[in-house]
Chain A
Amino acid sequence: MYGRVLGMTVVGVGGRAVAVESFVGRGLPALTLTGLPGAAVQDARERIRPAVEHAGLEWPLRRVVVNLAPGNLRKEGAGLDLPIAASVLAATAQVPTASLTGLVFFGELSLRGEVLPTPGVLSVAIAAAQAGLAGVVVPEANAVEAAQVDGVRVIAVADLSHVVGFLRGTWEPPDVEVGTQRGWRSAGVDLAEVRGQEQARRALEVAAAGGHNLLFVGSPGAGKTMLARRLATILPELTREEALEATQLHSVAGLLAGRGLLRQRPVRSPHHSISTAGLLGGGSTQLRPGEVSLAHRGVLFLDELTEFRRDAIEALRQPLEDGHVVVTRSSASVTFPARFTLVGAANPCPCGFRDDPVRLCECRDDQLARYRAKLSGPLLDRIDLRLSVPRLTKHELLGAAGGEASTVVRTRVLEARERQLARYRDNDWTCNAHLPGPLARREAALTSAGERLLGDAVERSALSGRGFDRVIKVARTVADLGGQARVDVGHVAEALSYREAFEPEDRAARAS
Chain B
Amino acid sequence: MPHVPAEDEEPFEPRLRPAGFPPSFGDGPGEADAVLLLACLLGITPRVRHEVVWHEGSATGAVAAIRGGARGSDNDRQFLRGADPARIRKRVAVAGARFAQPGSSEYWPAFQRLDDPPVGVFLRGRPLVLGHDRVAVVGSRRPSAQGKDVARSLGQGLAAAGLVVSSGGALGIDARAHEGALDVGGTTVAVLGSGIDVEYPATNRHLLAEIVERGTLVSEYPPGVPAEPFRFPARNRLIAALSIAVVIVEGVARSGTRSTADFATQLGLELFAVPGPVSSALSATPHELIRDGARLIRGVADLLEDLGIDPSRRPPPPAPDGLPANQHAVLDALIEPMLPAAVARAAGLSIPDTVSALVQLELRGLVHGSGGRFRSALVREAARTTAVQHHADADADPR
Please report A residues at the B interface, Cβ cutoff 8 Å: 196, 198-199, 202, 218, 348, 354-358, 360-366, 369, 387-390, 392, 396, 399-401, 453, 456-457, 460, 462, 489-490, 493-494, 496-497, 500, 505-508, 511-512
Contact A390 to B372, CB < 8 A, known contacts A364-B171, A497-B355? yes
Chain B minimum-CB-distance residue to A355: B371
B280's partner among A360, A399, A453 (CB-CB below 8 A) is A360
B356 in contact with A493 (CB, 8 Å): yes
Chain B minimum-CB-distance residue to A349: B371
Could you say which residues of chain B place their CB within 8 Å of the CB of A348? Answer: 371
Could you say which residues of chain A place their CB within 8 Å of the CB of B26? Answer: none
Chain A minimum-CB-distance residue to B360: A493
A361's partner among B142, B352, B363 (CB-CB below 8 A) is B142
In the complex, how many residue pairs between chain A and chain B have their CB atoms under 8 Å apart?
Answer: 112
Chain A minimum-CB-distance residue to B336: A357
Contact A399 to B172, CB < 8 A, known contacts A355-B145, A356-B371, A360-B144? no
A399 in contact with B342 (CB, 8 Å): yes
B36 at the interface (CB under 8 A from A): no
Contact A358 to B279, CB < 8 A, known contacts A364-B171, A390-B339, A496-B359? yes
CB distance from A315 to the nearest CB of B (A): 30
A460 in contact with B363 (CB, 8 Å): yes
Could you say which residues of chain A place their CB within 8 Å of the CB of B365? Answer: 460
Could you say which residues of chain B place their CB within 8 Å of the CB of A511? Answer: 206
Could you say which residues of chain A place their CB within 8 Å of the CB of B357? Answer: 493
CB distance from B398 to the nearest CB of A (A): 8
Chain A minimum-CB-distance residue to B280: A360
B142 in contact with A196 (CB, 8 Å): no
Chain A minimum-CB-distance residue to B204: A508
CB distance from A287 to the nearest CB of B (A): 42
Could you say which residues of chain A place their CB within 8 Å of the CB of B356? Answer: 489-490, 493-494, 497
Interface string of B349-367 (1 = CB under 8 A from A): 0011101111110110100
Chain A minimum-CB-distance residue to B209: A511
Question: 11 A-B Cβ contacts within 8 A?
Answer: A356-B371, A360-B281, A365-B171, A366-B201, A390-B339, A399-B394, A453-B360, A456-B363, A497-B356, A497-B369, A511-B206
A388 in contact with B372 (CB, 8 Å): yes
* Bound: A369/B203 CA distance, A: 9
B353's partner among A366, A490, A506 (CB-CB below 8 A) is A490
Could you say which residues of chain A place their CB within 8 Å of the CB of B204? Answer: 508
* Bound: A218/B373 CA distance, A: 11
Chain B minimum-CB-distance residue to A488: B356
A388 in contact with B282 (CB, 8 Å): no
Chain B minimum-CB-distance residue to A456: B363
Could you say which residues of chain A place their CB within 8 Å of the CB of B371? Answer: 218, 348, 354-356, 388, 390
B141 at the interface (CB under 8 A from A): yes
B373 in contact with A497 (CB, 8 Å): no
Could you say which residues of chain B place their CB within 8 Å of the CB of A362? Answer: 142
Contact A357 to B363, CB < 8 A, known contacts A489-B356, A508-B207? no
Chain B minimum-CB-distance residue to A392: B339
Chain B minimum-CB-distance residue to A463: B363
B282 in contact with A360 (CB, 8 Å): yes
B202 at the interface (CB under 8 A from A): yes
CB distance from A194 to the nearest CB of B (A): 12
B370 in contact with A355 (CB, 8 Å): yes
Contact A494 to B372, CB < 8 A, known contacts A360-B280, A369-B203, A390-B339? no
Could you say which residues of chain B place their CB within 8 Å of the CB of A357? Answer: 337, 373
A388 in contact with B370 (CB, 8 Å): yes
B206's partner among A366, A400, A507 (CB-CB below 8 A) is A507
Instruction: List residues of B (301-345) whose CB comes within 8 Å of A's CBs.
Output: 337, 339-342, 345
* Bound: A117/B144 CA distance, A: 58
B355 in contact with A494 (CB, 8 Å): yes
Chain B minimum-CB-distance residue to A399: B399
Could you say which residues of chain B place their CB within 8 Å of the CB of A355? Answer: 144-145, 370-373
B203 in contact with A497 (CB, 8 Å): no
A500's partner among B342, B370, B395 (CB-CB below 8 A) is B370
Contact A497 to B172, CB < 8 A, known contacts A198-B351, A490-B352, A508-B204? no
Could you say which residues of chain B place their CB within 8 Å of the CB of A365? Answer: 171-172, 203
A497 in contact with B363 (CB, 8 Å): no
Could you say which residues of chain B place their CB within 8 Å of the CB of A506? Answer: 203
Chain A minimum-CB-distance residue to B351: A198
B179 at the interface (CB under 8 A from A): yes
Could you say which residues of chain A place their CB within 8 Å of the CB of B352? Answer: 202, 490, 494
Could you say which residues of chain B place their CB within 8 Å of the CB of A218? Answer: 371-372
* A-B residue pairs, 5 tightest by C-beta: A355-B371, A390-B372, A388-B372, A493-B356, A493-B359
* Bound: A366/B142 CA distance, A: 11
Could you say which residues of chain A place their CB within 8 Å of the CB of B201? Answer: 366
Given A462-B363, A496-B363, A505-B370, 11 other A-B residues pairs in contact with their CB atoms under 8 A: A196-B339, A354-B145, A355-B145, A361-B142, A388-B372, A390-B339, A390-B373, A399-B395, A462-B362, A493-B357, A512-B206
* Bound: A506/B358 CA distance, A: 21
Most buried by A among B203, B280, B340, B358: B203
Chain A minimum-CB-distance residue to B374: A497
CB distance from B273 to the nearest CB of A (A): 18
Could you say which residues of chain B place their CB within 8 Å of the CB of A497? Answer: 355-356, 358-359, 369
* Bound: A218/B370 CA distance, A: 11
Interface string of B172-211 (1 = CB under 8 A from A): 1001000100000000000000000000011111110000
Could you say which residues of chain B place their CB within 8 Å of the CB of A505? Answer: 370
Could you say which residues of chain B place their CB within 8 Å of the CB of A361? Answer: 142, 144
CB distance from B281 to the nearest CB of A (A): 5
A364 in contact with B281 (CB, 8 Å): no
* Bound: A358/B278 CA distance, A: 11
A396's partner among B145, B207, B339, B369 (CB-CB below 8 A) is B339
Contact A508 to B141, CB < 8 A, known contacts A456-B363, A500-B370? no
CB distance from B346 to the nearest CB of A (A): 11
CB distance from A298 to the nearest CB of B (A): 27
* Bound: A506/B205 CA distance, A: 13
Contact A363 to B142, CB < 8 A, known contacts A196-B341, A494-B352? yes
CB distance from A482 to the nearest CB of B (A): 9
B341 in contact with A198 (CB, 8 Å): yes
* Bound: A242/B201 CA distance, A: 55
Could you say which residues of chain B place their CB within 8 Å of the CB of A366? Answer: 171, 201-203
* Bound: A494/B362 CA distance, A: 12
* Bound: A358/B370 CA distance, A: 15
* Bound: A369/B204 CA distance, A: 12
* Bound: A257/B171 CA distance, A: 57
Most buried by B among A396, A456, A506: A506
Contact A507 to B358, CB < 8 A, known contacts A358-B279, A360-B280, A401-B399? no
Could you say which residues of chain A place their CB within 8 Å of the CB of B351? Answer: 198-199, 202
Could you say which residues of chain B place their CB within 8 Å of the CB of A496? Answer: 359, 363
* Bound: A198/B373 CA distance, A: 12
* Bound: A494/B351 CA distance, A: 10
CB distance from B118 to the nearest CB of A (A): 29
Contact A389 to B372, CB < 8 A, known contacts A494-B355, A497-B355? yes
Instruction: List residues of B (269-312) whose CB comes within 8 Å of A's CBs.
Output: 279-282
CB distance from B204 to the nearest CB of A (A): 6
Could you say which residues of chain B place their CB within 8 Å of the CB of A399? Answer: 342, 345, 394-395, 399
Most buried by B among A363, A369, A508: A508
Instruction: List residues of B (198-232) whose CB comes within 8 Å of A's CBs.
Output: 201-207
Chain A minimum-CB-distance residue to B152: A507
Could you say which residues of chain B place their CB within 8 Å of the CB of A369? Answer: 203
Chain B minimum-CB-distance residue to A390: B372
Could you say which residues of chain B place their CB within 8 Å of the CB of A387? Answer: 372
B141's partner among A198, A364, A490 (CB-CB below 8 A) is A364
* Bound: A160/B211 CA distance, A: 85
Could you say which residues of chain A place their CB within 8 Å of the CB of B339? Answer: 196, 198-199, 390, 392, 396
Chain B minimum-CB-distance residue to A505: B370
Could you say which residues of chain B place their CB within 8 Å of the CB of A356? Answer: 371
Could you say which residues of chain B place their CB within 8 Å of the CB of A364? Answer: 141-142, 171
